[in-house]
Amino acid sequence: MAKIEFSKISKSYGTAQILKGIDLQISSGEFLVLVGPSGCGKSTLLRTLAGLEKLDSGEIKVDDRNIHNVEPQNRDIAMVFQNYALYPHMDVSENMSFAMKLQKRPAKEIKEHVTQIARLLQIEHLLNRKPKDLSGGQCQRVALGRALARKTSIVLFDEPLSNLDAHLRSQMRVEIKRLHQSLKSTMIYVTHDQMEATTMGDRIAVLKDGAIEQVGTPTEIYHRPKNLFIASFIGSPEMNLIEGALLAKLPWPETQDETRRSNQILGVRPEAFKISQGPILPHELELGAFHIELSENLGGQQMLHGLLEGQNVRILVDSMDSFCKDQKLSLKIDLTKAHLFDKQTGLNQRLS
């Protein structure tokens, strides 16, 4: 376990500033998920911690010690690379034990670690194969195994499950969480996958253009997004963003003035809409007719696409109820789950 502190981290390639003064503290033993659009600097940030990139300015401390002058191999950090980079001339078992052999750990201990991790990752039967004889998904699991078998105090994962099918992915998600609980290493995990971010992270840090937009628990990030970018980036299916006449119905001080209203966007997640039945509760608001255009069956739920006051809206409802095209439903929203964003600044105005 190790506590990590990034302070004012900046990094440029040529004239392009990739990391713009990043401040981030990660507690000892925490599982932090880093998410953000392609090219925002996630891999670069991991690489600075691993010692594979030099910082232009700022400092990184591990357990209150500046690691600036510590060589990568002495940082007690394992990393699962985005392109997995296995040693091609070594078989799976050698790939997994290489770093431990360098550290001159006892052969018995190495064998035990490799066997235990290989079993968890379901690659025991591949231990004698070379990487060229493995599928992409198998290579990815070997890369995970190679990093985890070392039992370092910090493990960095750069999109480690991107080549796996959906079933294996959800299995590996649980295995990595389980390993985290038993190894107790501090872990930083980069992903594009909403599900991975919210199910695995103790906290999530959302990165955009080399700067951190918000750090919080999955619940905070999902229910209390600081701005429009976070609100639309986190959550699948995406939040509905509504402008226009509908905003006049909202009972909030921010929406009373017409000029102010024209500069606002209402954000409502698809599950925060309800079909109006029975009494309207104090925290609910009746919205009017929703005109169904299309329904998508998602298994346990269905997504209805349609028009509400001339705006395209998606709502999530139970899949056992049957709806048809052109049907009209009366909708209400749960106001405690509705957000109001400023069009210019993007800031969420309903966060107290």
Ligand X SMILES: Nc1ncnc2c1ncn2[C@@H]1O[C@H](COP(=O)(O)OP(=O)(O)OP(=O)(O)O)[C@@H](O)[C@H]1O
Determine, following the binding rule CB under 6 A, whether residue 83 of this chain makes contact with ligand X. Answer: no
Find tokens 């951190």 and name the residue.
212
Q: How many CB atoms lie within 10 A of CB 155?
A: 25
**What CA–CA distance (Å, rounded) separates 122 from 262?**
55
User: Which residue number, 162 or 171, has a Cβ lying nearer to ligand X?
Assistant: 162
User: For the chain, give me the number of helices (H) and strands (E)?
Assistant: 9, 18
By a kind-dependent CB cut-off of 5 to 8 A, residue 152 interacts, out of Mg ion, ligand X, none, with: none
User: Which residue number, 41 or 235, has a Cβ lying nearer to ligand X?
Assistant: 41
**What CA–CA distance (Å, rounded) separates 94 from 87?**
9
- Helices 92-102, 136-149: inter-axial angle, 10-degree rounding: 20
Report the candidate in 284, 269, 267 with the shortest Cα–Cα distance to residue 331. Answer: 284
Report the candidate in 240, 239, 246 with the shortest Cα–Cα distance to residue 261. Answer: 246
**What CA–CA distance (Å, rounded) separates 191 from 210?**
16
Please state whether the peptide bond connecting residue 106 to the residue before it is cis, i.e. omega within 30 degrees of 0. no
- Binding to Mg ion by CB under 5 A, coded x per residue (else -) over 31-70, reads ------------x---------------------------
Determine, following the binding rule CB under 6 A, whether residue 352 of this chain makes contact with ligand X. Answer: no
Query: Minimum distance between the CB of residue 60 and ligand X, rounded to whole angstroms?
Result: 16
**What CA–CA distance (Å, rounded) separates 97 from 87?**
11
Query: Minimum distance between the CB of residue 80 and ligand X, rounded to whole angstroms?
Result: 13
User: Which residue number, 18 or 92, has a Cβ lying nearer to Mg ion?
Assistant: 18
By a kind-dependent CB cut-off of 5 to 8 A, residue 255 interacts, out of ligand X, Mg ion, none, with: none
3-state secondary structure of 249: helix
3-state secondary structure of 21: strand
User: Which residue number, 30 or 158, has a Cβ lying nearer to Mg ion?
Assistant: 158
Q: Which of residues 32-71 bind ligand X (CB under 6 A)?
A: 36, 38-44
User: Which residue number, 18 or 338, has a Cβ lying nearer to ligand X?
Assistant: 18
Query: Minimum distance between the CB of residue 36 and ligand X, rounded to whole angstroms?
Result: 6
User: Which residue number, 39 or 72, has a Cβ lying nearer to ligand X?
Assistant: 39
User: Which residue number, 18 or 96, has a Cβ lying nearer to ligand X?
Assistant: 18
Q: What are phi and psi of 326, to 5 degrees?
A: 75, 0
Q: If binding means CB under 6 A, how many residues of this protein chain bind ligand X?
A: 11
- Binding to Mg ion by CB under 5 A, coded x per residue (else -) over 281-320, reads ----------------------------------------
Q: Which stretch binds Mg ion (CB under 5 A): 1-9, 62-70, 74-82, 232-240?
A: 74-82
By a kind-dependent CB cut-off of 5 to 8 A, residue 72 interacts, out of ligand X, Mg ion, none, with: none
**What CA–CA distance (Å, rounded) separates 8 from 11?**
10
Report the candidate in 150, 210, 159 with the shortest Cα–Cα distance to residue 188. Answer: 159
Determine, following the binding rule CB under 6 A, whether residue 140 of this chain makes contact with ligand X. Answer: no
Residues that bind ligand X (CB under 6 A): 13, 18, 36, 38-44, 82
User: Which residues here bind Mg ion, judged by CB under 5 A?
Assistant: 43, 82
